[in-house]
Amino acid sequence: MKTLNKYLEGKDVFTTVKESGGFTFIQDNDIPAMNGLLALQYGNKSIFAPIENVSFPILCDMLALEVRSKWEGYVKAELILANLNVRRELSETITDNEERTNEKNDVAKISAFNSNDLIDDTGNNSTGGDTLQGERERIVVDENIDPAKAYNMLDATAKNGIINRVIGDTAEFFTLSIY
């Protein structure tokens, strides 16, 4: 069985994964170090044999598909732990003022036998008014976390934690879980 180092010789895992998955939080200047750490920490592990039969770009597409939400969740979780506010709240007060006036006349008419004339029989007259007034407040919360911007807001410790988890997930994808 091949080791991860042997398989990845001459291949740039994180550039290919970044391009295929749109992982904007992976910084270009971190990629050489990430590839080096992957080789250093997990290079002696045996790769999963069927991987050798799949082209490298397709494998990176598969990896990106498998871990996309997980990696973006890492960034979001660190952002929440660091208590950095990326939310925008809008408060809106709406004042309602409406007046309605209703008038109604109902008259029942009847006619006598063999007569074309209609005469009033019974009826109802009513007049009413409605006045509606009030205020209501609506708060709209807009939370759109851009992983790249969020990653840049984090301190070095949080960034290193994310990078270590990303490297671990990548090694887990390519290698067997036994040593």
Every domain of the chain and the residues it spans: 4-86+144-174, 91-139
Of 83, 48, 84, 81, residue with least CA distance to 162: 81
What's the confidence (pLDDT) of residue 144?
64
- Give the pLDDT band of residue 119 (cuts 50, 70, 90): confident
State the average pLDDT over residues 148-177. Answer: 86
- Give the pLDDT band of residue 83 (cuts 50, 70, 90): low
What's the confidence (pLDDT) of residue 87?
63
With 70 as the cut, is the pLDDT of residue 112 above it?
Answer: yes
- With 0.85 as the threshold, say if the pTM is over it: no
Of 75, 63, 79, 77, residue with least CA distance to 14: 63
> Which pLDDT tens digit goes with each residue over 25-70?
888 899 999 999 999 999 999 998 888 889 999 999 999 999 988 8
